[in-house]
Structure 1
Amino acid sequence: MVDGVILLALIGIAIGRLPRLRMNRATIAFAGAAFLIALGGISAEEAAAAIDLSTLILILSMMIITANLKFSGFFDLAGNLVLRAADRPRKLLTLVMASSAVLSALFLNDTICIMMTPLVAVLCQRSKRDPVPYLIALALSANIGSAATIIGNPQNMLIGASSGIPFMRFLSRLAIPSVAGLVVAYLLTVLVFRKEFADNEKITITDLALDGNAERKIYKPLLYKSLFAILVMTVAFILDAPVYAAAMAAAAILLTTRRINPERVFAELDWTIIAFFGGLFIITAAVAKTDAFSWFVARALPLVGQSMAGLSAFTLVLSNLISNVPAVMLMRPLAQYFPNQEQFFLVLAMASTYAGNLTLLGSVANLIVAESAKRFGIHISFGTYLKVGLPTTLVTIMLGTLYLICT
C-alpha cells in the first residue's frame, strides 16, 4: 500500500494532475505525504525532521521581497525602461533576454515571466513584430539566468540548503555557464526564427503600460525601501551569511511598515509552493526508506558512475520525467558517493535547471509564458518551442558540464 501511494504521488507530481480529481502538484504532494504518515510509511517524527525549514524560509522570504517590489512598481519600471531602449529586432531580443536572465537570477524566475510576458507581448503586437520568438527567448533566458544563483529558482534554493555552498561561491561557479548559455540561446533563436530577424527595421514603440499609466504605478517610498532591503541582503551574501537568514532579514525589513497592509503582501505569496515543498520533503524521505530506492541507487550509480557528464545526462532525463524539483530531491543522496560533493551539487543545479528548457512543458516558467501569451491571442506550439528548446538544452548542458569539470 505504501509503495502504491508513493508511486501514485510521483506519477501525479510528474504529470501535474490525477485523473478525475481536481488536484495539482501541490495538493498531490501534500495529500501523498499525509497518506504516507497515516499508513506508517514514515513516522510523524521522521516526517517533521525531513522538512528543510531553511529552504522554506528562503522561498517565503524571497516571495515577500518580490511582492513588495511588485507593489512598488519596480517590475513595470524596469520592463518599460529596458523595452523602450529596444529600437531594432535583434536589440529587442538581446534586451529581453538580458533583463530576463539578470532579474531571474535575483528573484524567482517564475515571477519574472509573470511580470515580463505582458510587456513583451504588447510591445510586439503594437510594433507589428512576431511575438513568439521573443516570448520563447524570455522563457529560455529566465531559466538559464536563474541557474546562476541560489535564489534564482526553487531547486537551487534546495541545493543551496543541502550543500552549504556560500552564495558568492555558487554565483562565481555558475555565472559563466549562464552567460555562455544566454549566448547559445540567442544565436539559436535568431537562427530558428531567421525571417523575424532578417530585416533591421526600426521598431516604433508607444506606451507599453497595459492601462497607459505606467508612471503613476511607481510608489517611490516602497521602491527605495525595497532596494535598501535588497542591498542589505546582498551585503549579507557577500559576507557569507546563511542565505536563508539574509533573505529573512530583508523580508523582515519590508514587513516592518506603516504603509502596506500585510494582508496584501501575504495574499501575493504563492502558498502552493510551500505546500508542494513540504509534502515533497516527506515523500522523498519515505522513498529513501523503500527497497525501490535502494534499487534506484544501485542502478543509477553504474549509469552515472562518478562522472559529471553521466550525472548531467541522468539529471536531464530524470528532470524531464518527474520535473526538476523532485529530481533534485531524489538525486541529493547520491552526493555521498562523489569525492567532490560541491562539484556534484553545482552540476546538479546547472543540469536540472537547463533541463527545463527542453520542452514547453519542461518548467513552470515556460508554462507561465505560454499561458500568459494566450490572453493576448498568441499561441506558442509545442513543436515551435522544441525547435529552439531542444538544441539550446543539449548545448548549454554540455558547455556547463565541461566548464564545471575543467575549472
Structure 2
Amino acid sequence: MGVTLLIFLLVYVAMGFGKLPGFKVDRTGAAIVGALAMMVAGSISAKAAWESIDYSSVGMLFGLMVVSAAFVVSGFYGWTAQKVATLPVSAPVLLAVLVAVGGLLSAVLTNDVVVVAMTPLLVSVTLARGLNPVPFLLGFCFAANTGSAGTLIGSPQNMIAAQQLGLSFNGFLMVAAVPALLSLPLVWGLIVWLYHGRWTSPQSEREHPVAATLTAPPLDRAETLKAGVATFLVVLAFVVSDWPRDLIALGAAGILLINRQIASSDMLKHVDGNLLLLIMGLFVVNAAMAATGLPQSLLNDLRGAGINLNDPLSLFLVSGVLSNVVGNNPAVMLLVPFLEPGHDRALADALGAALALGTGFSSNLIVFGSLAGIIVVEQAAVCGIRISFGEFARAGVPVALACMAMAVVWILLIGM
C-alpha cells in the first residue's frame, strides 16, 4: 500500500505543478509513468489496468476532437477570428463579441481546440488594429472555460463526467446552461472594468514579426458546411436518441475523416493525443489507488466532517478547489468514482452540472487552473505577447469568484 500511495502522490504532484519536480516529465508523462509503475509494483494487474480505462469516455472525447478539428482545417476558426476582430466597433464592444463567440463555440465544440485555433489569430488581428491583445485573449479564454460548462460536450471533463455518471444531454443542459450563459456578461463586465483605459497597445504589429505573419487558411465553405452538418447531427442524436454517445461521436469522426480534399493526417494532428494519454494513464493510477481502500476511508471521514460529495453544492465547492490544485480533468476523474446518484437521474444530472460548473468556473483563477489558460499564455508568448502569472490572476481571480458566487446562488435557487 505504501508504494501505491507514493506513486499516486507523485503523479498528482506532477498534475499540480505541471511537471514532476526535478525531471522533464510533464503531466501526460507522469500519468503514463505512474500507470506503468502501478503495474510493475503489483498495485494493479495488467488485465485490471486495461479494464480500468473507460474507453467510452476516451472514444467520445476522441470523436468530438475530430469533429472540432474539421472546423480548424476548413478555415472556419480563422475566418471567424478575422471577421469578428475586424468589426468596426469600439474595443469594449469587440470584447463582448469575442466573449460571446468564445463561450458559444466552446459549448458546442471542445473548448481546448477552440482556444488552440483562435489564440494566434486573435493576437495578430488585435495588434493590426493597434489594440492591446491581453484583455481580448483573457476574455476569450475565460469565456471558453465558463461557456463550455453549459453542455456535456463543452470540455473533456464534462465528457468524462457524462460517461461515468450516465448523464442525459437534456437534463444536464437544463441545470447547467443558464449559469454558463450568465457567466459571459460577468466575464465581459469585469474585463472592461479591469482594463479601462488600457485598450491600446504601445507596440505595433511590426514589433511582433511572428504575430504579423500569422494568417488563417482560406475558408472552405463546403468543408465547413460538412463539419457543421456533422456537428448538428451529433448534437441531435445526443438529444433525441439513446444510442451510445461514444459511438455517435466516433461515427461522425469516421465520416469526416473520409475526405477527398483534406488528408486525414491534417485533421488528426489537431487531436490532442497527449490529453487522451493523460486520461488513460489516470484511469489506471486512480483504479490502483481505489483498490487500497484509502479513498473510501477518506470519503467516510469527509462525510463525518459534514462534506457530502453527493450534495451538489458541496461537490461544486470541492471540485472548484481541487481543480486548481491538480487540474480540472484530474479533479473530475478523482471525484466521479465516489458519486452515488443511484437511479435518480435528476440527481445525476445535478451532480454532473455541479462538477462542470465547479471545475469550469474556478479554472480561471490561475494560469494552471485549466488547459485553456496554459494554451493561451504559451501561444501568446510564441507570438511575442507576455501574459504573466500575476496579470492572469489579477483578472482571473475576480472573474472566477464572481462566476462561482453566481453559480452558488443558482444552485441554491433551483435546489440542485
TM-score calculated relative to the size of structure 1: 0.91
| 1:51 CA displacement | 0.7
Q: Deviations over 1:286-312 (max 9, x none)?
A: 121224323321233325235433322
Q: What is the distance in 2 between the residues matched to 1:169 and 1:337? A: 14
Secondary structure of 2:363's counterpart equals helix
Q: What is the distance in 2 between the residues matched to 1:252 and 1:141? A: 30
Q: Deviations over 1:297-349 (max 9, x none)?
A: 12333252354333222222111111111111111133227973332221112
1:404 aligns to 2:411 (yes or no): yes
Distance 1:362 1:347, change over 3 A: same
Distance 1:261 1:122, change over 3 A: closer
What's the counterpart of residue 231 of structure 2?
230
1:361 aligns to 2:371 (yes or no): no
What's the counterpart of residue 178 of structure 1?
180
2:129 to 113, 127, 130: 127
What's the counterpart of residue 153 of structure 1?
155
Aligned 1:42-61 pairs, distance under 5 A: 42-61=44-63
Instruction: Check the 8 A contact 2:131/2:199 in 1, yes or no.
Output: no
Q: CA RMSD in A?
A: 2.2
Q: What is the distance in 2 between the residues matched to 1:398 and 1:290? A: 36
1:290 aligns to 2:292 (yes or no): yes
Q: What is the distance in 2 between the residues matched to 1:126 and 1:197? A: 13
| 1:35 CA displacement | 1.2
Which amino acid in the other structure matches residue 350 of structure 1? L
TM-score calculated relative to the size of structure 2: 0.89
Instruction: Check the 8 A contact 1:96/1:134 in 2, yes or no.
Output: yes
What's the counterpart of residue 341 of structure 1?
348
Secondary structure of 1:147's counterpart equals helix
Q: What is the distance in 2 between the residues matched to 1:320 and 1:136? A: 17
What's the counterpart of residue 322 of structure 1?
326
What's the counterpart of residue 19 of structure 2?
17
Q: What is the distance in 2 between the residues matched to 1:153 and 1:212? A: 27
Aligned 1:90-109 pairs, distance under 5 A: 90-109=92-111
Q: What is the distance in 2 between the residues matched to 1:329 and 1:34? A: 18
| 1:37 CA displacement | 1.3
Instruction: Check the 8 A contact 2:120/2:214 in 1, yes or no.
Output: no
1:193 to 186, 192, 195: 195
Instruction: Check the 8 A contact 2:168/2:349 in 1, yes or no.
Output: no
Which amino acid in the other structure matches residue 85 of structure 2? L
What's the counterpart of residue 371 of structure 1?
378
Q: What is the distance in 2 between the residues matched to 1:268 and 1:359? A: 25
Which amino acid in the other structure matches residue 93 of structure 1? L
Q: What is the distance in 2 between the residues matched to 1:391 and 1:7? A: 31
Secondary structure of 2:269's counterpart equals helix
Structure 1 residues 306-315 or 148-157, which shifts more? 306-315
| 1:394 CA displacement | 1.7
Which amino acid in the other structure matches residue 12 of structure 1? A
Number of paired residues?
396
What's the counterpart of residue 208 of structure 2?
none
Q: What is the distance in 1 between the residues matched to 2:78 and 2:403? A: 30
What's the counterpart of residue 265 of structure 2?
263
Secondary structure of 1:217's counterpart equals coil
Instruction: Check the 8 A contact 2:28/2:275 in 1, yes or no.
Output: yes
| 1:284 CA displacement | 0.9
What's the counterpart of residue 304 of structure 1?
307
2:357 to 345, 350, 357: 350
Which amino acid in the other structure matches residue 90 of structure 2? R
Instruction: Check the 8 A contact 1:168/1:240 in 2, yes or no.
Output: no
Identity %: 29
Q: What is the distance in 2 between the residues matched to 1:326 and 1:346? A: 17
Instruction: Check the 8 A contact 1:335/1:345 in 2, yes or no.
Output: no
Q: What is the distance in 1 between the residues matched to 2:65 and 2:276? A: 11
| 1:97 CA displacement | 0.5
Structure 1 residues 300-309 or 322-331, which shifts more? 300-309
| 1:211 CA displacement | 5.1
Q: What is the distance in 2 between the residues matched to 1:2 and 1:213? A: 49
Q: Deviations over 1:57-86 (max 9, x none)?
A: 111111211222211111112222222225
1:384 to 387, 391, 397: 391
